[in-house]
Amino acid sequence: MKTLIPFLMLSCLSFAQAYELNPTFNYQGRFTDASGKVKKDVISLRFQIFSPDGKCLLYEEYNPSVNLGATNGILNIKVGSHVNDTKRTTQDPRLRMVQVFSNDPSQPQTTRSYCESGYKPSSGDARLLRVYMTENRVETALQPDQVISSVPTSMVSESLQGQTLQDLDLRYSKSDKISTLVPGRVCRTDGTKVICDKDIGTIQGAKGDKGDAGPQGPQGVTGARGPAGEKGADGAKGATGPQGPQGVAGAKGATGPQGAPGLQGPQGVAGAKGATGDKGATGPQGPQGVAGAKGADGRGLASVGTNCADGYYVKGINANGTLNCQLLPNQNPTIVFGPLRDSPFRSGGSMSFNDHIGDNFKFCAIMASAADENGSWCRTYKSGNSWFQSSGKTESKSRLLCQAVCFR
């Protein structure tokens, strides 16, 4: 909970607009929390002045963005304004400050939404000051209301009852009008004109009794730190302290240079024979052998090296000996076919083929292979970046059909 220690400082400084006194008085206080710690937040304040019964609003103003941090929690703000000042709120009744504090019964306050019961002042009436504080968008009324009594009414002397200098001038036809008199003079009237012939500085009343001591003011802001003093003289040398504990061992040193080699020892006894190692990888294919003698023509219509048209692959051999070519379901430019090797039956001798398919394929595989008997083979292999198709037969009566496919 926030607390406020308030002080009212009321001022009547000089003549201002339309012969009206400076329409402000000072409101002072210090904000602390429940523990007494000074608050340094940014707050907003709303001031209201009411009739003595607190039912008739006579004045309202709003002061946003009051920075308590800049003043160490101390508030010193002027309350009051001229009729058209922008700090007055929309529900302010637009009364002059002399009207707000006037106790002239002939000038009752008009009955409005903010003064429903109306207010007719009486001599000696005080006013109530109500203060609202807004912090973090929450508005809180500071309790209790404060009574404004005699000092603010110096704006409206009881003998003049709210009449400005301009109002008084209208009551006289002589040339000695109040608004033209020299400031600092004591004025009086003989019933027809106003006379101001005595300097106020020459009039001294009797010395009054000593007033009571005022309350202690709030603690001032801490002053700046003073400069460092001069260095003092060196003290006497103290006794030697006890020996400290042993320090941590240092890091291991670098390895020294290698020594000279020793003499060779005698040869050891031969060890037992080790287990047989794993089978090694198959070596590369040897060079192609010399072609054998040409055998007799066998059956079949396809000749060696024939192939299906582009976009087709060999699925098999038809009954009449022709190739069974099938259309590829999805032609792909990354697919390459090796040469088709089809050797018919013939008697005598074996035959083999070793065809270069191409380079830089991801892999190759046999797509079509057929043989009537054992003794025929068809495979692919890679040497470096090149792929090959190898096929052949060893039986004279077997038939060979072989074709590879490769993918980039």
Q: What is the pLDDT along the chain (408 residues), one digit of tens a residue?
A: 455 544 444 433 333 333 455 688 899 888 888 888 888 899 999 999 999 988 899 999 999 999 998 989 898 999 999 999 999 999 999 999 988 888 887 777 665 667 777 888 888 899 999 999 999 899 999 989 999 875 454 454 444 544 555 555 554 444 444 555 555 566 666 555 666 666 655 666 567 778 778 788 788 888 888 898 888 888 888 898 898 898 888 899 898 898 888 888 888 888 888 888 888 887 787 787 776 665 544 433 233 345 666 556 666 777 777 777 776 655 555 677 777 776 654 445 567 778 888 888 888 888 766 665 566 778 888 889 898 988 777 665 556 677 888 887
Domain ranges in the chain are: 3-157, 164-199, 312-407
pLDDT for 398 equals 58
Q: Which CATH superfamily is domain 3-157 in?
A: Macroglobulin (MG2) domain (2.60.40.1930)
The Cα–Cα gap between 98 and 21 comes to: 8
pLDDT for 305 equals 40
Query: DSSP per residue over 205-232, as a string?
Result: -PPPPPPPPPPPPPPPPPPPPPPPPPPP
- Token duo for residue 202: 């020459």
Cβ-based neighbours of 394, under 8 Å, separated by 6 or more:
350, 375, 376
Query: DSSP per residue over 79-116, as a string?
Result: E---TT-TTB-TT-----HHHHS---TTSPBPPBTTBT
261's torsion region: left (phi>0), alpha (psi -120 to 50) or beta? beta
pLDDT for 77 equals 92
The alpha carbon dihedral of 227, 232, 234, 240 has a sign of negative
Cβ-based neighbours of 229, under 8 Å, separated by 6 or more:
none
Q: Is the bond leading into 329 cis (omega within 30 degrees of zero)?
A: no
Cβ-based neighbours of 188, under 8 Å, separated by 6 or more:
194, 195, 196
Predicted model pTM: 0.39
pLDDT for 198 equals 66
Tell which residue, 327, 406, 407, 315, has the closest CA to residue 368. Answer: 315
Query: What are phi and psi for residue 376, nearest 5 degrees?
Result: -115, 150
